[in-house]
Amino acid sequence: MKIVQAVGWFYPDSLGGTEVYVAGLCRRLQRAGHEAIVAAPDAGGGGERTYEHDGIAVYRYPIASAPTRAECQGRVTVRGAERFHAWLGMKRPDIVHMHTFVTGLGLRELQAAAAAGARTIVTTHSGALGYVCQRGTLMRWGEEPCDGVSEPSKCAACELQHRGLPKPLARALGSIPPSIARAGRGLPGKLGTALGMSALIAENQAMQRQMLAGADRFVVLTRWALEAVVANGASREKLGLNRLGSGHEKVVRKRGAEECPTSLPVTVGYLGRLDAIKGVHDLARAASSLPRALPISIEFRGPSERRVRAEIEALVGGDPRVSFAAPVAEHEALDVLARYDVLCCPSVCHEGGPTVAIEAHAVGTPVIGTRIGGLAELVTDGVNGRLVRPGDWRGLARVLREIAADPAGTIDRWRGALPPARTMDEVAAEYLALYAV
């Protein structure tokens, strides 16, 4: 089969969990005897280009670097994306598998793939669940997990608060009926955005219905996400659940607690992009509240914007127990995870994994995380790790104090109850079964 994996960004421009996932899937499809090609938009690119990354063929198509509001909202085809449509018509792939809905890769590209005769599969990696959550986190007001049901007034208010409006004003503007809001969205700038938000949510709902009608299968990464998509009107027959898996070829599990018990100071690691939605500020606040005599060390490791790094440093206030380290290459991640006594994933958005938590389990490192998304289905609180409410840095601080005070009764006990880690081979096998239907 000729299989196109379409993603919003790809190497070498971007390195993130979805890119790692797509690359790992492509390698396994190639081993199974299929032709796998990655396609991705290239904002501001000078023209179409092809190249090879780690043995994977990549096609990039240029799109507008300054898209209009209509292009960003998916109401019109993004300038440049028509080249991708033509490329699909020329390539005639058997399968087009889309992994992100972003500017330049959305509903119209899905329709172009179907028009080219391809079987279409969509996997949603983000909290948006396709076009369900405009905020993209499935966190109501950014404070607590949402029920996942999209409603114009509710979701418009939440997104407007996310954009800086106080809740009372956000609620008032969000309550504008979509039929009236459509007239307001024609105004320029922030005023048009604010007045037209409920109309945007209603259009997102319509695009979600069109996407589900047009795609052959819509795949989510967690059981919660599947139920949320159903609650928004999707037919279960169109849906699939394919949980994340570790893409590493060889995984060596570290020695167990009986042979190598956890010693003090306890080492807590955060590995990944230093981003607000990943909860790094909550980990920093928790660290800053710990008694200075507590035997614990905390490492932040990963790429970050200068601003976010500065905010974290200010929160921890020069505490010598908190350190920062450079990002690691994909092939080095398992070694880093094995050196941690526990991995902390304090995410404040709905994630399918994160993959780093699955990899931590694979090498024998327990996880402390938040009770949302994939973490809530991967970690059993008090059995193989701990879970706290998203954004609850005080609760996270209590867990950190517990593990430093009693590593044998917490970390070492959790190590003996870690589940087998799912692999990317299993993920690829399930996709191949979908492709062949």
List domains and CATH numbers for the chain. Answer: 2-123+215-245+425-436 (3.40.50.2000), 266-415 (3.40.50.2000)
Give the model's pLDDT for residue 435.
Answer: 96
Rounded Cα–Cα distance for residues 66 and 387 (Å): 41
Residue of 93, 148, 123 whose CA lies nearest to 18: 123
Does the pLDDT at position 248 exceed 90? no
Give the model's pLDDT for residue 331.
Answer: 83
Residue of 256, 339, 332 whose CA lies nearest to 323: 339
Give the model's pLDDT for residue 188.
Answer: 85
Q: Which residue has the tokens 């005769």?
A: 117
Give the model's pLDDT for residue 4.
Answer: 98
Give the model's pLDDT for residue 31.
Answer: 96
Range 162-177 average pLDDT: 96
Rounded Cα–Cα distance for residues 332 and 358 (Å): 15
Tell me which of 34 and 354 has the higher pLDDT: 34
Give the model's pLDDT for residue 388.
Answer: 98
Q: Which residue has the tokens 């033509």?
A: 86
Helix orientation angle between 152-162 and 197-214, rounded to the nearest 10 degrees = 110
Does the pLDDT at position 69 exceed 90? no
Give the model's pLDDT for residue 153.
Answer: 97
Q: Given pLDDT bands bounded at 50, 70 and 90, which one contains residue 78? A: very high
Q: Given pLDDT bands bounded at 50, 70 and 90, which one contains residue 233? A: very high
Range 241-266 average pLDDT: 92
pLDDT tens digit string along 338-385?
A: 999 999 999 999 988 899 999 999 999 999 999 999 999 999 999 999
Does the pLDDT at position 15 exceed 80? no
Give the model's pLDDT for residue 353.
Answer: 85
Give the model's pLDDT for residue 382.
Answer: 96
Hey, how many other C-beta atoms are within 10 angstroms of the C-beta on 190?
11
Rounded Cα–Cα distance for residues 170 and 174 (Å): 6
**Of 15-19, 194-198, 349-353, which has the strongest mean pLDDT?**
194-198
Tell me which of 388 and 189 has the higher pLDDT: 388
Range 189-193 average pLDDT: 89
Is 0.85 surpassed by the pTM of this model?
Answer: yes
Asked if residues 273 and 336 have their Cβ atoms less than 8 Å apart, the reply is: no
Asked if residues 373 and 351 have their Cβ atoms less than 8 Å apart, the reply is: yes
